[in-house]
Amino acid sequence: MFKWLDPYAKPQRLYAVCGAWQRVLMPMAWLTLLIGVVWGLGFTPADYQQGDSYRIIHIHVPAAIWSMGAYSSMAIAAFIALVWQIKVAQWAIGAIAPIGACFTLIALFTGSFWGKPMWGTWWEWDARLTSELILLFLYVGVIALQNAFADRETGDKAASLLAMVGVVNLPIIHFSVEWWNTLHQGASITKFAKPSIDPSMLWPLLICMLAFALLLAALTCLRLRTAILQHEQHRSWVRDLAEEPTDAKV
DSSP 63-112: HHHHHHHHHHHHHHHHHHHHHH--HHHHHHHHHHHHHHHHHHHHHHHHHH
* Amino acid identity for residue 176 in this structure: S
Give whichever of 169 and 230 is closer to another protein, judged by the CB atom.
169
> In 10 A of CB 77, how many CB atoms?
26
The distance of closest approach from Cβ of residue 165 to another protein in the complex, given in angstroms and rounded to an integer, is 6
Interface with another protein (CB under 8 A) = 82, 134, 137-138, 140-141, 144-145, 148-151, 154-155, 157-158, 161-162, 164-166, 168-169, 172-173, 176-177, 179-180, 183
Give whichever of 156 and 205 is closer to another protein, judged by the CB atom.
156
The distance of closest approach from Cβ of residue 69 to another protein in the complex, given in angstroms and rounded to an integer, is 19
Give whichever of 184 and 239 is closer to another protein, judged by the CB atom.
184
Tell me the C-alpha distance between 234 and 152, whole Å.
Answer: 15
The distance of closest approach from Cβ of residue 242 to another protein in the complex, given in angstroms and rounded to an integer, is 30
Quickly count helices (H) and strands (E) in the chain. 9, 0
The distance of closest approach from Cβ of residue 114 to another protein in the complex, given in angstroms and rounded to an integer, is 25
**What angle do helix axes 152-184 and 127-146 make, rounded to 10 degrees?**
170
Give whichever of 140 and 248 is closer to another protein, judged by the CB atom.
140
Give whichever of 45 and 171 is closer to another protein, judged by the CB atom.
171
The distance of closest approach from Cβ of residue 72 to another protein in the complex, given in angstroms and rounded to an integer, is 17
